[in-house]
Structure 1
Amino acid sequence: MDRLVYTAMTGAKHILEKQANTSHNLANAATTGFRAQLDSFRAVPVMGAQLPTRAYVVDSTVGTDFTPGAIQQTGRDLDVALQGKGWIAVQLEDGSEAFTRSGSLKLSENGVLQTQSGANVMGDGGPIAVPPDVSITVGKDGTITTIATGFKPGAATVLGRIKLVNPPEENIVRGDDGLFRLKDDEQADADPNVVLIGGALEGSNVNVVDAMVDMISLARQFELHMALMKNVESNEAKAAQLLSLTG
């Protein structure tokens, strides 16, 4: 009976964890560029001095759903969406590089191009600084072009190009801050084949209906595991009664 306890107990524990991840996906159904987290269960034998006759359940995070989200036109100059595969490279406060699909950009008080979370957008030679009183245009290849908005507009000026990367998906891991990084914490090379769409944003790839169905299914599975543990308790009580009678 203790074999069933191992399975039911660990299964219920990891169902709760998977439900938390599903809730997290649902909470980010409207987050720009969000990528849903995927989970799966697997059985692991309990290793001991004797034969591995016991097993417990492990919730394995198999990775991320990299399916592109829907693109919506916004008309905002600093909104960009990635067409197909690819990432926007950003620089964190510690100087490390991370990747994001959220193309809702802004200018800091010092004129540095940033994401909405405050990470600096990387260019060919580092962060991109934009002078005041200019209109900004982002090209398909990430080129940042500005034109003065004064009484006598001048010629277009190229400030730099957003660093667009496309490392292998199997080498990318999600961080606690929602940004992605290479597993070896190295910097990715720029990929000229990555294309941007100006004046648009990519939505989350979370399927709300599927996530709600998963929530209901996980709740029922948790109830099933609780019922199994109650059955084990009842069987142990009856077995103890039988043993006391035979003794």
Structure 2
Amino acid sequence: MDRIVYTAAGGAARVLEQQAVLSNNMANVSTTGFRAELANYRSVPIVAEQGLPTRVGTVASTPGSNFEQGAMVQTGNALDVAITGEGWFSVQTPTGEALTRAGELAVNPQGLLVTQQGLPILAANNAPIEIPDRGTVTFTSDGTITALGAGDRPNDIQVIGQLKLSNPPAASLARGDDGLFRVQDPNAGPVREDPNVHMVSGFVEKSNVGAAETMVGMIANARQFEAQMQIIQTASTNAERANSILSSNG
């Protein structure tokens, strides 16, 4: 009975862990630039002292994220940008540089170009980008930023910087608790700019989470959890009956 209960309880716990990943994906189905987190089951043999497998347990592993590009939506907003194909924007966080695909930018009260979370977006020289007061901003495909100040003539347009566009190997990236990605090697130094990464302005990239697929996965997990609970209940009932038989025979 103990083996059945522990095996079923372990499976139920793993189902809950994967359900949490799917729930987080579903909650971010409308989050700009969000990358769906992957979660899989993996069997783990439980070996007895004699070295023979007695039963098999399961663990839920998160091998990474789905880095496929999400749908591109045209907004017409001059500060909305989206990377076409592979690549990342760099942002400044309290713990250092981080990477994001979210390109809904804004200008904060200090005149810095920031994300919707208020994080300064970095230029190619790893510095925040200052936007002229009431300036009209445009972006080119390589991330170059030009601005025309309020009241300036068209020929007074000036280049104020270039967005840092990079493309580190996907295997080297880890998602943080803040949803941003970072290079796992702490000694790797600043992420290098990649001239092969391009972007478009007036567009945003939506989440790459498939709502229907994620919902089906959540339903399947709920049924799997119910099956595990039924196994535990059946084992408990059988144990009670066995105890009752033994008591009556005594």
| Band of TM-score, shorter chain | over 0.9
Give SS of 1:189's match.
Answer: coil
State the shift of 1:130 in Å: 1.2
| Contact 1:41/1:57 (<8 A) preserved | yes
* Code of the aligned partner of 1:62: P
* Code of the aligned partner of 1:14: R
| Contact 2:34/2:208 (<8 A) preserved | yes
State the shift of 1:208 in Å: 0.7
State the shift of 1:88 in Å: 0.2
State the shift of 1:201 in Å: 0.2
Residue 187 of structure 1: aligned partner: 190
Q: Which moved more, 1:144-153 or 1:78-87?
A: 144-153
Q: What is the aligned counterpart of 1:223 among 214, 222, 226?
A: 226
State the shift of 1:239 in Å: 3.0
Residue 26 of structure 1: aligned partner: 26
Q: Which moved more, 1:182-191 or 1:138-147?
A: 182-191
Q: Distance in 2 between matches of 1:192 and 1:153?
A: 28
| Contact 1:135/1:147 (<8 A) preserved | yes
Residue 117 of structure 2: aligned partner: 117
Residue 135 of structure 1: aligned partner: 136
Matched, 1:198 2:201: yes
State the 4+ residue runs in structure 1 displaced beyond 3 angstroms.
45-52, 151-154, 241-247
State the shift of 1:132 in Å: 0.9
* Code of the aligned partner of 2:21: N
Residue 4 of structure 1: aligned partner: 4
Q: Distance in 2 between matches of 1:210 and 1:220?
A: 16
* Code of the aligned partner of 1:70: A
Q: Which moved more, 1:123-132 or 1:218-227?
A: 123-132
What is the aligned-residue identity percentage?
Answer: 46
Give SS of 2:234's match.
Answer: helix
Residue 82 of structure 1: aligned partner: 83
What per-residue deviation string (whole Å, max 9, x for no partner) do you get for residues 178-213 of structure 1? 000011134211000001011000001111111111
State the shift of 1:48 in Å: 5.9
* Code of the aligned partner of 1:170: A
State the shift of 1:55 in Å: 3.7
| Contact 1:147/1:155 (<8 A) preserved | yes
| Contact 2:148/2:156 (<8 A) preserved | yes
Residue 213 of structure 1: aligned partner: 216
Give SS of 1:53's match.
Answer: strand
Q: Distance in 2 between matches of 1:207 and 1:44?
A: 29
What per-residue deviation string (whole Å, max 9, x for no partner) do you get for residues 82-120 of structure 1? 1011000111124x1100000000111111111110111
State the shift of 1:244 in Å: 4.4
State the shift of 1:242 in Å: 4.3
Q: Distance in 2 between matches of 1:130 and 1:173?
A: 31
Residue ranges of structure 1 left out of the alignment (5+ in a row) = none
| Contact 1:93/1:119 (<8 A) preserved | no
- Count matched residues: 246
| Contact 2:11/2:58 (<8 A) preserved | yes
Q: Distance in 1 between matches of 2:101 and 2:64?
A: 16
Q: Distance in 2 between matches of 1:187 and 1:241?
A: 68
Give SS of 1:121's match.
Answer: coil
* Code of the aligned partner of 1:224: A
